[in-house]
Structure 1
Amino acid sequence: MEQDRAQEAQIYFSTPNDILRYLWYKKTGFLQIIEPKTIIRKTGRNNTHICGVLDKSRSAAQAKREELKLKYTRRECKMVALWLNNLTMAPEKACEIMHPKREMWVRMIRALRLAEYARKPEFGNLKELMDIFYRQAYTVWQGEVERNRLKADAEQTFALLKQRPGMFARSLFANMLWFGAEETLAAFKEVVHLLPARLVVTLGMYAESYFEPGRKRMVKPLGGNALLIEPHYLVGLYMEDQLKAMVKDVQDLCKEVVAARFASAAVESENKSMYIDPMLFHIPLSIGDRSETIQDTSCALQGTRFPVEGDKVRLFMQWGKGLPAQHLDMDLSCHITLPSTTPNKKGTAEYIELDLNELNRVGAEYVAFTCNAYSNGTISPNLVVGWMNSAYPMKISERTGVAYDPSCVQHQVRVSQSLQKGLVFGVLKVKEREIVWLEIPFGGQTILSLDTQTIEKYLDKLEAKTTVGELLAVKAQAQGLKLVDIPEADEIYTREWALNTAAVTKLLLGD
């Protein structure tokens, strides 16, 4: 950022971590604050090779460590010092926000020479901030919550949680197990109206999987691969009937809150009826899905189901377009690996055609569509994966090299910036003859590194989600609209409408 425009950017920074996010984006290209140790560890793993001679994990990790070393000019140092000095937030509050990323802030403070600027008279606020930060003369709210929770002090714990309703919601299930459902939900009801709709809906979606004994849950940590985690250790202390009651209480509360919001949002109109496309009852809401791909040609929510047209599905993958000639070996869907050097700027592609009749004959249940980097490193920038309608025969053009008509593409995504070695981008359900669009990152050089149980758990997670159709039905009931079976109504919601994720989110979640 140019120095003469640095002051203009001040209005976009309300907390120290806003500044940290900007600095880290400029350094790494990642929009989220992924810690250096995570990036270094992932880089090392991504450069592991099944052939020992080609293994570059140690050298790649060291190179990334050197690359992440912070170096700033005097001009940049002064710019950041001014931003921190001009924050209107109380220094104790600012330090508490900085605390979770304390290691990164210590490195940033040294690299930006902030101690030097703090000694200057015009940087009084920065001096106070750094003094409190280094002396740790601030209270961490989360630490106070944990201290009172371990003391089994429900009253004080809930008093603190009510101060931050969002954190209360995120720890609701664990607190129900710790303090009991009745007392916890009674306290939560006092602040639930302050929460965004998407957070309330999320609680209702995941309650059943959280309180099910022995059921592992799938999580996707920031910058990492999909993982399966064990259920909360306190779940085993409750009877099955008690756990089912907890699930029902949470879901009933969430439905009540969402219905009340729809009812209050209803405006005087002549709308009396609503049509909901049956397909919308199979499209989950886009909540809590981390994505590292760009949908710049078509758009779909994770969990969207695409019916297969015909008896065949053709997968495709293209990479290297716009990049200089280099060795980039990407692998599509199975063990087929085509060692190749990408032509300068033109790129390379792979195709796989699946015959549903043959899959049915051998008794296949589903087929996972995957892509991964066989050569050292991560999935190639600008790699495009997807599938197309195979109703038309594939022909290779000798002039352009294009093997398909882009109009036949049913869905595709582009990887822009990634730490991932592999990606599951779809699952073909053979009997249902439909493809489920999803994103599951995984590590490893080949598809053998993929844990099929992770896919099954993620499909379960998508099945548990509230669908667009279900939330529209709640809206209709809350606003007194009659549901009709034909697309002739005052409000019509079709599959095409649902592909506009912004419109769906705005209508149903108010974001």
Structure 2
Amino acid sequence: MNNTLTTVALRYHALYLDIRHEDINLNSEATAPVMALVARLKENGFCLSEELLHALNNVSADTLAEITKCINNVMGVNLNWAPLVKKWNVPTGENRVDHLLTLFTNLLGGKKAGFKGTTLRCGHFIPEGTFPLERYNGCPFCGTPFRTANFVYKGQGSKLKELRLFTNKDMQNVFASLLASPTPLDATQKDSLEKLLTEFALPEDVQVAMKETAMLVVKTLISHDKAMEAAALLKTPTDILRYLWYEKTGLVQIVEPKTLVAHARRMYYHVFGPLDMGADAAVDMKLKLKLKYNRKACLRVALWMNSLPMTASQAAENMNPKRGMWVRMIRALRMGEYSRKKGMEHLAEIIDVFYNQSYSTWQGRVDKARIENDADKTLDLLKERPGLFARSLFATMLRFGSKRVLAAFDEIADKLPARLLLSLGNAAESYFDFNATRLARPITGGAVSIEPNKLLALYNETERQKMASEVMDIYKESMVRRFAAKKTEAKTIYIDPALYKIPVGVGDRATTIQDTSCALMGTRFKVEGDAVRLFLQWGKGLHAQPLDMDLSCRITFDNYTTAECAFYNLSCVGAKHSGDIRSIPEMVGTAEYIELSMPDLLAAKAKYVMFTCNAYSCGTLSPNLVVGWMDSAYPMQLSEETGVAYDPSCVQHMVRLSESNLSKGLVFGVLDVEKREIVWLEMPFTSQTIRGADSMSAETLLSKLEAKLTIGELLDWKAMAQNLKPAATAQEADEAYTYEWALNPADVARLLNQEG
């Protein structure tokens, strides 16, 4: 049994079995071990397709046991889900006065000073009349848990997620599709590809479309001593620099050293001065980023550079945007020394041209033409590089007028990747709105507001709206042409009405891993019951230590007032918190919950609720931290003895933080109270508490998601281009696109790129 492949298959709503579809007897009766597995899966919120049910009869009981163990591990069944407070849906009544009295009595000596109370195993003295100790699983003053729980509730969920069969052929297809993906992989897909690279050999005819994906492949090839085969994927100096920086930092994007140093300083800042470690963290990051390579690595990079299929001037121009980093790399990799060796003449020429700066850059020529207001020359240069033309399209329209710029752009529109074309259409409306707030999401976390282009003031509102409309027309016409060129034998199509509310996930690169409930950002989940239960679990696999992660929510009411439910305010209208844990127990982690009452929120005229988690401890959010929410049409239990409130079968959406996470806080969902819908989104922020999560930025992101092209609209274009007639149900259609289909981002990406 291969648990790696089972883990990957589960992300595609499937179970991996090492059998063939043809070997399945669809008339077989389920064996006793299979029925036992079905019961265990139901407890975790899963059911099986008919084919998978029969296929399980072909595998051993040991394999079934391994599948159960793997799913329990993914769902966190064996972790500690006990919060700080027992039966936390009933407030303990603790307040700031209790904390202040406890602080002063401990400073004065506690029991030794004659105070009455209890000394806990953490050493803190709790005076009588403050915290009701019988209600706690740990110390209410320092948040250290003393008690863990070895159980969770199971089977309370009102909806089951169907799993289908994945064979070796299906897994190979996933592997090939990830390698060939023309869109950047999100964190889930990247993690899946890394796992599959350890299981399967690279296809001989592999075509890696994305530079970031190529870095993972290059790393695999080098680990198998195939450095020169890797050279085929490194076609420019920037590709080489990207790999070197990925090898150094684990980031597939090139982030400047000064940015990483500043980020470390910001992540280790603490509101309490004596605990502020920002300056030390910056120094540590500088030391970490120091370059040092052995002779083998130096020779490998020198050979890569020497074999580049570019002229020296082209290579030097490519290196110019990251000139400072290249100067450091050339020195650390001893390229000057290797360039003097026989056979390294091309490397020597590149270094000579680069250092003497005897080259001109394309961007410099474009900037010069813009300054001289030479529209024809500017547009001719931009057409040479369609991708860069797309990225500067809006600003160029404002400078030279939309008519001539869009006419030039239309000539090269079909050469652009669909993802980039759709990004333009999605961004057009907000870009040309002088009053709209635009957001940038740097890889280091947070959301930055961008000021509108000052040239927008030259145009009136009607002209700006026309520009946005013209951009949308361009990308719609191009997408229709692409769909029309794709031949299909289908005559009918079914489009689930729910797909008209899910935006196409372009430009929203998710940085969290979805192990079970894959969904595109902006997906809306219906609330079926009267309660939504948020959960946060962290510390899996770590030794006992102080590590403070916080779960919080902010409620906004109709009159624009707000209320926060967090560690400093454990209960408010419509929300109750399970208590603030600031230390983790040994290896099994710990948990916090917030329960939202839909009837109470509706009665209080709440508008929406924003869900967040953040690291109060210095540093970023803990790796492998899991956060999400539960919902069920049936009441969900809560243990009076331990406070455990987790049930994997009730989990509606759950994400896990990857090892490469750089954010300190995360907005992971917004509940629209009146519509009874939860919108999944991912908005990092850089604050120790929820008060650093800007509600305006969250609203802007929601507006941006609502303004995006939806999957339903994209399918309408496909139907129009291919003359497909709508069908009333999925069963009646030749091509069926359901809500469940849209929960798999890889399937949506294939549609976007006309692969399905």
Instruction: Verify the 8 A CA contact 1:39 1:419 in the aligned structure 2.
Output: no
1:53 to 274, 277, 281: 274
Alpha-carbon distance between aligned partners in 2 of 1:297 and 1:397, rounded to the nearest angstrom = 29
Alpha-carbon distance between aligned partners in 2 of 1:355 and 1:395, rounded to the nearest angstrom = 14
One-letter code aligned to 2:707: A
Aligned partner of 2:481 in structure 1 is: 260
Query: Offset of 1:405 from its aligned partner?
Result: 2.4
Residue 289 (structure 2) pairs with residue 68 (structure 1): yes
Alpha-carbon distance between aligned partners in 2 of 1:308 and 1:91, rounded to the nearest angstrom = 60
One-letter code aligned to 1:343: P
Instruction: Verify the 8 A CA contact 1:3 1:75 in the aligned structure 2.
Output: no
Residue 708 (structure 2) pairs with residue 489 (structure 1): no
Instruction: Verify the 8 A CA contact 2:581 2:592 in the aligned structure 1.
Output: no
Bigger shift: residues 145-154 or 87-96: 87-96
**For 1:321-351, what per-residue CA distance to the aligned partner results, in whole angstroms no more than 9, with x for missing partners?**
1123322110112422724322222111111
Alignment CA distance shift 1:396-1:69 (3 Å):
farther
Aligned partner of 2:512 in structure 1 is: 293
Alpha-carbon distance between aligned partners in 2 of 1:126 and 1:358, rounded to the nearest angstrom = 70
One-letter code aligned to 1:93: Q
Aligned partner of 2:622 in structure 1 is: 380
How many matched pairs? 508
2:697 to 450, 454, 476: 454
The residue matched to 2:310 in structure 1 has which SS?
coil
Residue 494 (structure 2) pairs with residue 275 (structure 1): yes
Aligned partner of 1:479 in structure 2 is: 722
Aligned partner of 2:471 in structure 1 is: 250
Alpha-carbon distance between aligned partners in 1 of 2:707 and 2:620, rounded to the nearest angstrom = 31
Aligned partner of 1:26 in structure 2 is: 247
Aligned partner of 2:129 in structure 1 is: none
Matches within 5 A, 1:19-418: 19-267=240-488, 269=489, 271-334=490-553, 335-336=566-567, 338-390=580-632, 391-395=634-638, 403-416=645-658, 417-418=660-661
Residue 749 (structure 2) pairs with residue 500 (structure 1): no
Query: Offset of 1:354 from its aligned partner?
Result: 0.6
Query: Offset of 1:37 from its aligned partner?
Result: 1.1
Query: Offset of 1:318 from its aligned partner?
Result: 1.0
Alpha-carbon distance between aligned partners in 1 of 2:462 and 2:507, rounded to the nearest angstrom = 28
Alpha-carbon distance between aligned partners in 2 of 1:383 and 1:313, rounded to the nearest angstrom = 20
Alpha-carbon distance between aligned partners in 1 of 2:542 and 2:312, rounded to the nearest angstrom = 46
Instruction: Verify the 8 A CA contact 1:3 1:79 in the aligned structure 2.
Output: no
Instruction: Verify the 8 A CA contact 1:207 1:247 in the aligned structure 2.
Output: yes
Query: Offset of 1:361 from its aligned partner?
Result: 2.0
Larger Rg: 2
Bigger shift: residues 213-222 or 436-445: 213-222
The residue matched to 1:365 in structure 2 has which SS?
strand
Alpha-carbon distance between aligned partners in 2 of 1:396 and 1:173, rounded to the nearest angstrom = 57
**For 1:216-251, what per-residue CA distance to the aligned partner results, in whole angstroms no more than 9, with x for missing partners?**
211112324211111111111101111121122111
Alpha-carbon distance between aligned partners in 1 of 2:330 and 2:317, rounded to the nearest angstrom = 16
Bigger shift: residues 112-121 or 441-450: 112-121
One-letter code aligned to 1:479: Q
**For 1:139-177, what per-residue CA distance to the aligned partner results, in whole angstroms no more than 9, with x for missing partners?**
211111111011110000000001011111111111110
Alpha-carbon distance between aligned partners in 1 of 2:354 and 2:641, rounded to the nearest angstrom = 65
Bigger shift: residues 479-488 or 207-216: 479-488
**For 1:15-41, what per-residue CA distance to the aligned partner results, in whole angstroms no more than 9, with x for missing partners?**
112221222122111121111111111
TM-score normalised by structure 1 residue count? 0.96
Query: Offset of 1:11 from its aligned partner?
Result: 2.0
**For 1:252-301, what per-residue CA distance to the aligned partner results, in whole angstroms no more than 9, with x for missing partners?**
2221111111112133x2x3221110000001001001222111222000
One-letter code aligned to 1:380: S
One-letter code aligned to 1:449: G
Query: Offset of 1:202 from its aligned partner?
Result: 2.0
Alpha-carbon distance between aligned partners in 2 of 1:44 and 1:119, rounded to the nearest angstrom = 41
Instruction: Verify the 8 A CA contact 2:486 2:754 in the aligned structure 1.
Output: no
One-letter code aligned to 1:350: E
Alpha-carbon distance between aligned partners in 2 of 1:2 and 1:332, rounded to the nearest angstrom = 40
Aligned partner of 2:682 in structure 1 is: 439
One-letter code aligned to 2:486: A
The residue matched to 2:509 in structure 1 has which SS?
coil
Alpha-carbon distance between aligned partners in 2 of 1:153 and 1:482, rounded to the nearest angstrom = 48
Alpha-carbon distance between aligned partners in 1 of 2:227 and 2:352, rounded to the nearest angstrom = 25
**For 1:61-109, what per-residue CA distance to the aligned partner results, in whole angstroms no more than 9, with x for missing partners?**
1111111111111222112112111222222222222111111111111
Bigger shift: residues 463-472 or 401-410: 401-410
Instruction: Verify the 8 A CA contact 2:529 2:635 in the aligned structure 1.
Output: no
The residue matched to 1:71 in structure 2 has which SS?
coil
Query: Offset of 1:353 from its aligned partner?
Result: 0.8
Query: For structure 1, which runs of at least 5 residues remain unmatched after alignment?
Result: none
Matches within 5 A, 1:419-438: 419-438=662-681
The residue matched to 1:122 in structure 2 has which SS?
coil
Query: For structure 2, which runs of at least 5 residues remain unmatched after alignment?
Result: 1-221, 554-565, 568-578
Q: Percent identity?
A: 56
TM-score normalised by structure 2 residue count? 0.65
Instruction: Verify the 8 A CA contact 1:397 1:403 in the aligned structure 2.
Output: no
The residue matched to 2:663 in structure 1 has which SS?
coil
Instruction: Verify the 8 A CA contact 1:161 1:167 in the aligned structure 2.
Output: yes
Alpha-carbon distance between aligned partners in 2 of 1:173 and 1:362, rounded to the nearest angstrom = 44
Alpha-carbon distance between aligned partners in 1 of 2:335 and 2:378, rounded to the nearest angstrom = 37
Across the aligned residues of Structure 1 and Structure 2, the Cα RMSD in angstroms comes to 1.8
Alignment CA distance shift 1:380-1:397 (3 Å):
farther
Query: Offset of 1:510 from its aligned partner?
Result: 3.1
Alpha-carbon distance between aligned partners in 1 of 2:752 and 2:248, rounded to the nearest angstrom = 37
One-letter code aligned to 2:397: M
Alpha-carbon distance between aligned partners in 2 of 1:333 and 1:293, rounded to the nearest angstrom = 18
Alignment CA distance shift 1:395-1:250 (3 Å):
same
Alignment CA distance shift 1:382-1:397 (3 Å):
farther
Alpha-carbon distance between aligned partners in 1 of 2:752 and 2:229, rounded to the nearest angstrom = 35
Alignment CA distance shift 1:339-1:489 (3 Å):
closer
Query: Offset of 1:396 from its aligned partner?
Result: 5.1
Aligned partner of 2:53 in structure 1 is: none
Query: Offset of 1:439 from its aligned partner?
Result: 0.6
**For 1:375-408, what per-residue CA distance to the aligned partner results, in whole angstroms no more than 9, with x for missing partners?**
1000101111111124342445989x97422122
Alpha-carbon distance between aligned partners in 2 of 1:381 and 1:398, rounded to the nearest angstrom = 29
Instruction: Verify the 8 A CA contact 1:220 1:290 in the aligned structure 2.
Output: no
